[in-house]
A and B are shown apart, each in its own frame.
Chain A
Amino acid sequence: MRHAFYLSWRHLCHYRIRSLVLIACLSLMGALPVALHALLDQGERHLLSRAKDTPLVIGARASGLDLTLSALYFSNPELPKTTMAELERVENSGWALALPIYSRLRVKGQPLVGVTLDYLDYRQLHIGQGRMMATLGDAVLGADAARSLGLGVGDQLLTTPGNLFDLAGIYPLKLNITGLLEKQHTPDDQAIFIDLKTAWIIEGLGHGHEPPAPPSAHGANPAIQGSPATYTEITPENLASFHFHGDPGTYPISAVLAVPDNHRAATLLRGRYLDETQPGQLVEPLAVTRNLLDNIFRIRELFDVILALVGLATLLALSLVFWLSLRMRRGEMQTLFLLGSSRLTLFRLILAESLLLALASLALGALWIQLAQRGLGESALKFLTNG
C-alpha cells in the first residue's frame, strides 16, 4: 500500500492545479456548514452570556428587543427615553442594584455611553492604562474604541452633532481621555464611557459659564448685554461653574439595568411593571435573547437545507469530475495492467489517491473553520446585535 500511496502522491503532484481545485472544493464544502454552525454557536454563547449577566432591564415602553439591544449592546440610539425617577424607583425598592445607562450618543461611529462607576464595577471593566474618570468631562475608552479612534490617555475627543443641520443635537464638548479599559471581548470594548452627568451636559441639561460681568461704567445691566459665554471644555479652573437645571428626577436615561438581590426580589420587581398602562416596562434580556436566537435558528435551519442541497450538487459535480478523470486515465490504467499490475493494485492506486485528497481537504477545512472562528467571531456578534 506504501507504493500505491507514493504513486498517487506523485500523480497528484504532477496534476497539481487539478488536485488543488479538488481539495479546495471538498474542503469548502465540508467547512462551510461547520464554520457557519460554529459561528452561530459562538454568537449564541456571547449573546446568552451577556443576557445572563444582565438579569433585568427597565426602560420606556417600546419594543423589548430594542430595549435589550440598546441596554446591552448600545445599539438603537433612537429608543424612547426613560427618566432618573425610574432609577430611583428601583433603588428605593431596595430589591436590586440599579445601573443607569444613557446610550443615545455616538462619536465618530462609536457609542458614547453615559454610566455611573457602578456599571464599570458590575461589568468588571478594569483600567488598563491611565486612571478612572474622576470629574465631568472625563472619558475612558473600551479597547476597540481606542484602537479604531486612534486615541490614548491624555488625548481629547470632541463630541459633534450627528449632522450639520442637527441644530437641537448634541452640545460640542471636549472630552478628556483619562484611561483605557482592558479588553473584555464584549460590546463594552466598542464604547466610550463617560459619567452620566457628562452625558447630560452634552444633551444640554447642564452647563458651565463665565460669571456674569459686573455692570459697566456706563451702568449697563449685564443681563441685557447678552448671556455669558458657555464653556465647551471642562477644566479644573471652570469645573465649579458647571451646574444643572431642572428636577434631577426628570433627567433622561436610556435604560436601567437591575440586578436583583435574590429570586424573591426579582419577582417583586417584575410585579411592579405588570401594569401595561404605566410608562415603564421591564424586560428579561435572557428571555428576549432566547426569543431572538429562536428566530435565528429558524433561519439557520433554512440555511442548512440550502447548504445540504448545494453540497449534494457539488458532490455530484465532483463525482463526475472524478469519473471523467478516470475515463481520461483509461490508457494509463491499461498500460499499468499490461505491465503486470493486478486489478487490486489499480484499485489500491485509486483508493490511495482518494484518501490523500480527502485528508488534504479535511486539513484545509479545519484551517478554514479555525480562521473563521478567530476572524469572524466578533463580527458575527456585531451582525447579530446591530442588524
Chain B
Amino acid sequence: MTGPAAVPATAARRKGPGDELAGTGALLRLALRRDRVLIPVWAIALGGLVASGASTLEKVYPTAAQRADVARSMSGNGSLRALYGPVFGDSSGALTAWRFGGFGCVLAAVMSLLIVVRHTREEEETGRQELLSSAMVGRRAPLTSALLAAFVADAAVASIVTAGLAESTGNAAGSAALGLTIGAIGMLFAAMAAIMAQLTESARLAKGLTGAVLGAAFLLRAAGDTATRDASSVLDHLSPLGWAENVRPYAGERWWVLLLVVATALAQGAVAYVLAGRRDIGMSFVPPRPGPAEGRITTAYGLAWRLQRGGVLGWAVGFALAGLLFGRMADGAAALVGDNARTREIIQRMGGQSGLTDAFLATMVGMLGMVAALYAVSSVLRLHGEETDGRAEPVLAASVGRVRWAAGHLVIAFGGAALIMTVGGLGLAAGHGGDAGPLLGAALVQLPAIWTLSGLAVLLYGAFPRLAPGALGVVSLCLALGWIGPALNLPAAVLDVSPFGHLPKLPGVGMAWSPVLLLTALAAVLTGAGVGALRRRDVVG
C-alpha cells in the first residue's frame, strides 16, 4: 500500500524499549539548564556544610579526650538522640556523621523530591509537557531525565562530602560511606517522589505526600533512637533514615546497609517506571470526580479556605501524631540520660534545665515550632503562586481589594500555624499524660517566632515578589541553626538570627514575656509593611 499511511521504515525498525526513552538526553539538558542555579546552590551549601563538619567539630572539641567525653555523654541523652541519632564512635569523622549525617540526609531528600516533581508532574500540570511530548520524546523520557537530574545533584553532594571529609579526616572509606549514604537517601526519596508524581494530579500534592513520608521516616527514626542507644529498634528498621545511620560511617562501615538503600531506591524507581508507562499524560490513576454545578464559596476568605484546607488538615494530623509519639517517649528519654556535666551543659543550651523530661519536651516543642514555620511560610507563599499563575488577576478584577484577598490566605497561614501548634501541644500532652496546660502553653509560645518568619515572607512577597520564595530559605536557615547550631559553639550573634532562639524554653523554665511580645509586635509590623507594599505595587501577570 502506498500513500500518506506509509511511515519511514526507520521509525518502525527502532520501535522497542529504547523508544520509550527517546529524547531523554535533550530533556536532561533542558532540566539542568533550568536548574543551573538551583542544583549548584543546593549541592554546594549542603555538601559544603557536611564536608566542613569534621574541622568545625575539631575546633569545638580539640583533643581526643574531649571528643570521647562528648561521644559518651551525647549517646546517653534521649533528646539528643531523637534529634541526631546515636553516636557510634569518638573520632572526628564519627562525630561528623552523627551530628551532620541525619541533617544531610533529610536535606538531600528534600532537594531530590523538589527536583523530581518539578520536572515531572509540574511540567504536566502547567501543560508544558504536552508540547514536549508531541516531539520525539518517549513516554518514560520525562521521568528518566528528572531522575537523572536528581542523580546529578545527589552525586555532586556525595562527591563534595566524600572529598571534603576524606581530606580533613584522612579516612577515605568512612568519608565515602557518609557521602554515598547521603546521596543514596536523596535518590531513594527522588524515586519516592517519582511514584507520587505518577499517582497524584497535582505537583503540590506530590511534594506534600513525599514530604509526609520523609516526616514519618524522621519520626520513626527519632522514636527508635530515643528507645535504643544503637539504632537497633524496630522503628529504626522501618525508616530509611534509620537505615542511613546504621551504615555507621567511620565506625566499622556496614556497606550492606548502604546496598539496602540503593536497592530500595531502584525498586521504587521501577514502580514509578511501570506506572509512567501506563498512564495518560496530565492524568493520574484516579479519574477526576465531578464537582457541584453551583458554588457556595462567597468570599475571598471562603476561596482561600477552600484552596488551603487540605494542607492545613494534613499538617494538623501530622502534628497530632508527632506530638503523641514524642509525648510517649519523654519519660524514657530522661531515664536513659547519664549524669554528666557536659550533657547538662548541652541540654541547658538546647532546652532548659529543670528536669530532663522537661528539657526533652522543650526540645521537641522547639522542633515542632520550626517545622510549623515551614507550613506557615509556604502557606503565605500561596499568594505568590496564585498571582504568578494568573489566578489572582480575575479575582482582583472582581470587587475584591488586595488587602482582603491577601488577608484570606494570611488568616489561614497565621491561624493555621496556631491550629497545628495547638494540636501538636495537645498531642504531646496526651502522649505524656498529666496536665495539658503547660505543654499547650509551650507549644503556643512558639507562635511569635513562627509569625515573625511568616511576616518576613509577607514583606518579601509584598515588596519584592521575585524574592518571595527566598522566605523558605530563611526558614531553612533557622531550622539548620536550631538543629545543628547548639553543639557547635556558634557565636550568640549567629544563633540570634533565628527568632526561635529568643523564646523561653518552655516547659521547665519561667515564662519570659518580653521576647514573646516583641516578636509578636515585629511579626505585626512585618506583615503590615508587606500588605502595604502589596497595595502599592503592580500585579505580576
Q: Do A and B bind each other?
A: no
